[in-house]
Copies of this chain bind each other. A is one copy, B any other.
């Protein structure tokens, strides 16, 4: 296969959506060209890293000139499949789940929450952020061919729901619960552990004082 260069480092892949978003900003501001240095200031990524990242896709820029915003944008649009929208499901319409539903991920973004599930009778049947809340019992029946799910249920329900999601054909889970879930090898789970992020920030502040270098 290998239509795509395949060898793009994961670290680079994680930065692509960020580049894409800022290129969009520049474009809507009417900017025609941009240098790795300018982009660096905007996204706070070293300019050499940006050039290296771009270079994995070939020579996208011109020496002595920089990058053409429109060209770069259309290139990334294809690369990131921004043409087609990816629909995702959300499980657990509580505090976090409600926030996500109310937020429109679709701005500058090719992902959209298409369906939501909850166990609480009070929630089921209501509509949040334009998405109808279904009963968790109907998960298998109503998932259709969605392959990505956002998990915002209580931690103790996480593994059970994950198992059902996998059986229903899901291959990617964005897990916001503190539970570390077990899934088959072909399923990808990304953990976003907000409590840990906060603790880690505090730890770094106390133990890794930033020097006022470069002054």
Contact = CB atoms under 8 A, between A and B. Distances in A.
Interface of A: 4, 6, 8, 10, 13-14, 16-18, 21-22, 42-44, 80-81, 86, 88, 95-96, 98-100, 102-103, 105, 108-111, 147-148, 150, 171-172, 174, 178, 180, 182, 184-188, 190, 192-208, 210-215
Contacts of A190: 197, 200-201
Contacts of A99: 95-96, 98-99
A64 B204 CA distance: 33
Contact of A88 (B43, B180, B182, B198): B198
Contact of A188 (B4, B205, B212): B205
Nearest to A80: B203
Contacts of A193: 18
25 contacts: A13-B207, A44-B180, A44-B182, A80-B203, A88-B198, A96-B99, A105-B195, A105-B198, A109-B198, A110-B199, A111-B202, A147-B205, A148-B198, A148-B201, A150-B198, A172-B202, A174-B197, A184-B212, A185-B210, A185-B215, A188-B204, A190-B197, A190-B200, A192-B192, A192-B194
